[in-house]
Structure 1
Amino acid sequence: MNRTTLSLIAAVTALAAVTGFAALDAPEASGSGTAKTAARLPVEQSRLLCPEPSTSDIADTTYTSFTPVSKGTSGSGKAQLAAALAQSADGTDTGKDGKGKDGKSGKGQKQSGAPTVTPKAPGTPVTGDTTGADTPALIGTATGSLAPGWTVQETTQVAAGAGRGLLGTGCSAPDTEFWFAGASTAASRTDYVHLTNPDDSAAVVDIELYGKDGSLKSTVGEGITVQPHSSEPILLSTLTGAQEPDVTVHVGVRSGRVAAAVQALDDKLGGDWLAPSTDPAGSLVLPGIPKDATDVRLVAFVPGDNDADLKVRLASPSGQITPAGNETLHVKAGMTTAVDLGDVTRGEAGSLVLTPGDTPVPLVAAVRVVRGKGAQQESAFIPATAPVGTRASVADNSAKGTTLALTAPDGTATVRVTASAGSDGGTAMSKEYTIKGGTTQNVDAPAPSGLKGTYALTVEPLSGGPVYGARELRTTLEGVPAFTVQTLPDDRGTVAVPEADQDLSVLLKK
């Protein structure tokens, strides 16, 4: 062994003592011992992207940032929201008329109006407000103790005009594929798909639309470039000449990654954000349909080549029931299927549960929910969602006007619900609930003692089967029963980390 090799080993040994240098062990041979299980540790960084909230001059938007307290975190953290650029699909700034050179982008460049939201520590929400049509899309990053389970709620009130009402969405993480069931290209709807790129390189995105008869042919949605640190709103009606009341939108990313959300604005039924459905699956749960819903419209789509036959059930407070006249649903492959379920909840809390008849076929789904009557109607969307998992949080709750719905479709479950401290004061409180199998409960969620401002709710399953959840916010705007619903999938606050041991022998192998 030469002098250089000995010096290298000595240097690495010293480095290992100081820094804890480690190498992964090779898998143990069969029968040699018990394999080590990967530990779950808090994430160290989270990215969230908030779409441009509104083009209305009378829009009032609130952003609420919250990170639940997590075990295993220490030290300081940082979280911030920064304005994204708005550009046309060819990379140029959009003009004052709200259209780029390609005519795709329906909105103008927005640089001003970004809110100031500066969280200090986990456990307490922080809010920021903006008004008018100049609020840009936001790109958020949280690190350290503020990263695990970080959530940001974007809530907008628009008192009049197309899409008037209460619009809410949870700012989402970037990804490479999204399915939206429940969009529309009808004359009465103005639907945009918002694409936001948080990275330093451009993303290339394809948008596909599917109506009742299959794919809506269009080359305009292919190869859309979303520039770095920018946001691109695409008007769906510019991608096809077909006017379809129910459309499924598929966003596929060729390179890079984006966050995607659909803003659905109706001339008479108000508007809201349509979040992506959970990944295609044979069984789906759509939780938290308001008990006073006057109309519920289910929209489903099968991405594969096989038709799906589904059993449709409503999980009510007393158990699962079959909606009269809609016991089953046949969904043809590649075609968007919609069915009107009317006032299916009939004054009780409810969640839709879709299960396969014989052979499971992966599909996506969402419901459009309408409250009110006549000219005083408002709408919101509930996509099929993943279960709460380990933990989920939702922010911007108030002492009045907040409803938390929990459903346990497969078996009885026990959960703990924690109300955080208020944004302007108050002490956190927790309460445990048992949700019977096959039921949905609108739980009497706790509120912080001495509440001032708004607060966050955190749901943690303790035992039993999977739990699905949704939170409804409601208010009254000019006599309209305005509302919005956000589902509660797992917050992805932890990540599996394989156990590693120090092994310097790897340095001696040729």
Structure 2
Amino acid sequence: MKQRAPLTLAAVTAALAALTGVAALTAPAADGKAADGKAAAARMPVERSLLVCPGPSSSDIAETTYTSFTPGAPAGEGKGSARLLGATKDAKPVLEPKEPGKPLGATASGADAPALTGSADGVLAPGWTAQLTTKVSVGRSRGVLGVGCTAPGTDFWFPAVSTAKGREDYVHLTNPDDAAAIVDIKVFGPDGPAKPDAGTSESIRVDPKSTKTVLLSTLVPGAQLADATAHVTTRAGRVGASVQVGEEGVGADWLPASADPAGSLVLPGIPADAASVKLVVFVPGEEDADLKVRLAAPGGSISPAGNEQLHVKAGMTAAADLKDLTRGEAGSLLLTPSDPKKSAPVVAALRVVRGSGAKQEIGFIPATGPVGARATVADNRPEENATLLALTAPGADAKVKVTASPGTGGGEAASKEVDVKAGTTQTLTLAPAGGKGSYALTVETVSGGPVHAARTLSLPHEGIAMFTVQGLSDDRSTVSVPKAAQDLSVLTG
């Protein structure tokens, strides 16, 4: 038997230090102890955050606003830095926030506004949030297009994409790293996987520090899929991924990725005046899904007539036309297994249209995770009725604290606690006192069950109810760091 080499005290110390830096994803128990009765891991603020923002628009008349915000009090103690810069080598910073608690904005015009990548460290890292909002007043891509910048990843689901005539769905892939990323895109329609064009949907190379856009219909030529699901994965590296949708006659918006596949989902923030709501669901696994469909309205949960249940076959995309589902009251869609003992994970998104005739405008609401301890959305506008926050408690009563930051041009932060009854959606508007410019909204769970949230930003133009909806998910600003103790037995072989 080969004998292990003895460890030096320095090596032991290094090993212990490394152990204390490992981040666990499980929160400690309420009594501060782990399941085995030992002291639980402490929760510590993250030390570094990464964000990726897609390129805003191909329109020459696009007007884009970038906004960055980190929750917390203005930095009195501690240091930190953050930079968002163009996704090209040697790019100059577009935004460089200096302290938490104060949003920072920048603007860009035309089709040359870049995709962005960036990082934050120190006091600016925990909960760092960025948003890009683009307004295009005329043309095929007219509308308000809003999307939150996201952490780079390796796996994304996009229900509600389309390759049908009249739709242009572009997958935006942004690589923040110094090595190339290799990406696969698969499309699933109502009959399962769409046959791809040879060599176009697999091994798509995204160069380091760059962005690439892929027109979805070119991956499956001849397949006129009105309702489909795109699955974006990486073979090497990681990317930020979002889908920009343009639809003839109803404008344009971003379709963010759905929450991870789960048996129950919440799609929050359907506008009260939605003229049309379509639900698109996909089952990634091998078991069919039977879902109960409910609307969480201000007064409680109701089942939409004729669409109380939805059956979705494994590996296939299903759609349900919910029409004017909300009937004048903002709400959120709840998807749960028809049989709690038989649950198949699904992904889902809503295609929402406001207005009528030539004055229609499109938006998308993917399934969104709970706000958890804290979640933030940037770039809220102080104009009357411009910003509406929707809060949904799918299973149990809850209380949250909502805080409006100062504006990019000043003002005083404002806070409010909100009770959300189980199975309901509550809406509110909140803005900083005397605020000027855009501001951030932060939602913190105070007590009770999980809460899901979404912000609707409405910027009407010439009678068109231009809007965009962004979900708020846990900012994961802390991680669990296990406690380590010296164990001298490692010195013996």
Q: Using structure 1 for the length normalisation, give the TM-score.
A: 0.88
Deviation sequence 1:306-345 (CA, Å, 0-9, x none):
1111111000000000101111111111111111111100
What are the residue-to-residue correspondences of 1:469-484 with 2, within 5 Å?
469-484=453-468
2:267 is aligned to 286
| 2:171 counterpart SS class | strand
**1:68-110 CA distance string (max 9 Å, x none):** 0179995111111111139xxxxxxxxxxxxxxxxxxxxxxxx
User: Which residue of 164, 167, 171 corresponds with 2:149?
Assistant: 171
CA distance in 1, matches of 2:293, 2:151: 31
Whole-Å Cα distance in 1 between the matches of residues 277 and 115 of structure 2?
30
Residue 26 (structure 2) aligns with: none
Question: How far 1:447 sits from its partner (Å)?
Answer: 1.6
Determine if the alignment matches structure 1 residue 460 to structure 2 residue 463.
no
Name 2:325's counterpart in structure 1. 344
Distance change (3 Å), C-alpha of 1:33 and 1:147:
closer
Does structure 1 conserve the Cα–Cα contact (< 8 Å) formed by 2:376 and 2:472? Answer: yes
1:75 matched to 2:75? The reply is no
Structure 1 pair 22–404 and aligned structure 2 pair: CA distance change class (3 A): closer
Match of 2:55 among 30, 52, 55: 52
Contact 2:361–2:467 at 8 Å: present in 1 too?
yes
- Is the Cα–Cα contact under 8 Å of residues 261 and 347 in structure 2 kept in the other structure? yes
Structure 1 gap segments, 5+ residues each: 26-30, 87-110
> 2:215 — aligned with what?
235
- In the alignment, structure 2 segments of 5+ residues that lack a partner are 22-33
In the alignment of these two chains, the number of paired residues is 470
Conserved 8 A contact 1:50-1:171: yes
1:296-311 aligned at under 5 Å gives the runs 296-311=277-292
CA distance in 2, matches of 1:462, 1:477: 38
For 1:432, give the aligned amino acid. Answer: E
Amino acid at match of 1:225: R
Displacement of 1:33 in angstroms is 8.0
* Contact 1:41–1:72 (8 Å) recurs in 2: no
For the 8 Å contact 2:86–2:94, the answer to whether it is kept is: no
Is 2:160 the counterpart of 1:182?
A: yes
> Which residue, 354, 357, 364 being the options, matches 2:338?
357
Letter of the structure 2 residue corresponding to residue 136 of structure 1: P
Choose from 361, 371, 392 the match for 2:354. Answer: 371
Answering whether residue 122 of structure 2 is matched by residue 144 of structure 1, we say yes
CA distance in 1, matches of 2:307, 2:348: 16
CA distance in structure 2 between the aligned counterparts of 1:71 and 1:453, rounded to whole angstroms: 18
Say which SS state the counterpart of residue 481 (structure 1) adopts. coil
The aligned counterpart of 2:29 is none
Q: Counterparts of 1:141 and 1:34 in 2: how far apart (Å)?
A: 37
Whole-angstrom distance in 1 between the partners of 2:412 and 2:51: 27
SS at match of 2:217: helix
- Using the TM superposition, give the Cα deviation of residue 233 of structure 1 relative to its aligned residue in structure 2, in angstroms: 0.7
Which residue number in structure 1 is paired with residue 435 of structure 2? Answer: 451
CA shift, 1:34, in A, is 2.8
Per-residue CA deviation, residues 195-252 of structure 1 (Å, 9 max, x unaligned), is 1111111111110001111111113201111111111111101101111111100011
Are 1:42 and 1:72, in contact at CA under 8 Å, matched by a contact in 2?
A: no
Would you say the 8 A contact 2:73–2:101 is kept in 1?
Answer: no
1:382 aligned to which of 365, 371, 378: 365
2:68–2:97 contact (8 Å) kept in structure 1:
yes
2:400 counterpart of 1:397: no
Equivalent runs, 1:243-282 vs 2, <5 Å = 243-282=224-263
Tell me if structure 1 keeps the 8 A contact 2:74–2:99. Answer: no
Residue 104 of structure 2 is matched in structure 1 by: 126
Aligned partner letter, 1:286: L
Residue in 1 aligned with 2:69?
66
Alignment of 1:426-441 (within 5 A): 426-441=411-426
Offset at residue 255 of structure 1 (A): 1.5
Pairing 1:4-83 to 2, within 5 Å after superposition: 9=9, 34-69=37-72, 74-83=77-86
Q: C-alpha separation between the residues in 1 aligned to 2:357 and 2:276? A: 12
Write the letter of the residue equivalent to 2:246: L
Separation in 2 of the partners of 1:73 and 1:256? 37
**TM superposition shift of 1:509:** 3.2
Identity between Structure 1 and Structure 2 (%): 58
* Residues 303 and 507 of structure 1: CA distance in aligned 2, closer, same or farther (over 3 Å): closer
Indicate the RMSD between aligned Cα atoms, in angstroms.
2.6
Q: Is the 8 A contact 1:42 1:70 kept in 2?
A: no
Give the whole-Å Cα distance in 2 for the aligned partners of 1:259 and 1:183: 17
User: In the alignment, which residue of structure 1 is the partner of 2:205?
Assistant: 225
Give the TM-score of the pair, scaled to structure 2. 0.91
Amino acid aligned to 1:195: L
- The alpha-carbon deviation at position 507 of structure 1 amounts to 7.1
Contact 2:74 2:100 in 1 (8 A): no
Amino acid at match of 2:186: E
| CA distance in structure 2 between the aligned counterparts of 1:12 and 1:62, rounded to whole angstroms | 50
- Whether the 8 Å CA contact 1:22–1:500 is kept in 2: the answer is no
8 Å CA contact 2:59, 2:141 repeated in 1: no
Report how far residue 163 of structure 1 moved: 2.0
CA distance in 2 between counterparts of 1:69 and 1:318 reads: 34
* 1:363, distance to aligned residue in structure 2 (A): 0.5
Q: What is residue 298 of structure 2 aligned with on the other side?
A: 317
Q: 1:467 to 1:260 in 2, by over 3 A?
A: same
The aligned amino acid for 1:291 is A
